[in-house]
Structure 1
Amino acid sequence: MLELCKSVLNGVHTDKSLFRKELIKSMSWLTAEDQLKFQTWVRNHFTQQHADVIEEILDTKYQFAS
Structure 2
Amino acid sequence: MARAMFEYTILILEKVSFEPTLFCKELEKALKHLLPFEIQELNIWLKNLYMMQPELKVCLPPSFT
State TM-score, norm by structure 2: 0.77
Structure 2 residue matching 1:14: 3-state secondary structure? coil
Structure 1 residue matching 2:57: 3-state secondary structure? helix
Number of positions where the alignment pairs a residue of Structure 1 with one of Structure 2? 57
Which residue is 1:53 aligned to? 59
Aligned CA RMSD, in angstroms, stands at 1.3
Q: Give, in whole Å, the separation in 1 of the partners of 2:19 and 2:58.
A: 13
Identity across matched positions, percent: 23
Q: Give, in whole Å, the separation in 2 of the partners of 1:50 and 1:18.
A: 10
| Regions of 4+ moved over 4 Å | none
Q: Give, in whole Å, the separation in 2 of the partners of 1:8 and 1:32.
A: 19
Q: Which has the higher helix share?
A: 2
Q: Structure 1 residue 25 and structure 2 residue 61: aligned?
A: no
Code of the aligned partner of 2:22: L
Structure 2 residue matching 1:21: 3-state secondary structure? helix
Q: Give, in whole Å, the separation in 1 of the partners of 2:6 and 2:17.
A: 16
State TM-score, norm by structure 1: 0.76
Q: Structure 2: which 5+ runs fail to align? A: none
